[in-house]
Structure 1
Amino acid sequence: MHQQIYVNLPVKDLAASRAFFEAVGYRFNPQFTNDKGAGMELGDNLYAMLLAQDFARTFTGKEFPDPKRATTGWVCLSCDSREQVDALVAKARAAGGHVPGEPQDHGFMYGHGFEDLDGHHWELVHMSGMPQA
């Protein structure tokens, strides 16, 4: 059905947001990066477009809520291991991100997350099985 996903996130300071995510370990595609937006590579055919707020407003007539005060959704990414989950959260914290909670271990699924500099919530999960029916 779909070939790729692009999650678009408005950010207050594009340069600071890019530096934050580079510190976490993500790369940016120079073909989709300029002073208005930055195309962050999350995996094969998975992208987050960090858009300067003024530019992001050209796509919608709606207001942007402050993600530090309101949640309208969040990004959830799968990881290869529990260790990868913990390592990414640790890098985000070291780069200035906020870690709002403790890791969650549901047996078949382990998760933890962080908030980026703008307050967007990023959840990271490792699935080691399926829940029992």
Structure 2
Amino acid sequence: MQKGSYTTEYTVDVPVDDVVRAIADVRGYWSPSTTGDSEHEGDEFVYRDSALMSHFRVGEVVPGQRVVWDVLESRTTFVDDPAEWDGTRVVFELAPDGDGTRLRFTHEGLSEAKECFNACSRGWDGVINDSLKHLITTGRSMFDE
């Protein structure tokens, strides 16, 4: 992990397999308009909104332990270098914690030296700490409510 990468962590009272299923459901917590597949190694998907386009490949899935997405291409409209995310990695690390699961999310390469660090960190806070956590703990997407 690169120093200064964005990281957030929490524990949920949900079995690890349910957390892994929720992570793979990017339409359920990131955006219903996300295209492509995100469940198995080699799957590719694209997230797009007015400020960001990111093309990911699922680079690694270790059942019950780890999911890694590689950023193949990105375009961010609000920074000088629109390809800041290119070559970075998104890592979900999972570990049993009592009857639940500890989830540690890291966007490796999204360092404090990057122009978008503050805005992108706030974005990940909403996606991971709010929307994904809601999907994990309720089994329902915030988009459906």
Instruction: Verify same fold: TM over 0.5.
Output: no
Q: How does the TM-score come out when normalised to structure 1? A: 0.32
Q: How does the TM-score come out when normalised to structure 2? A: 0.30
Return the index of the structure with the highest Cα Rg.
1
Higher relative CO (Cα under 8 Å, sequence separation at least 6) belongs to 2
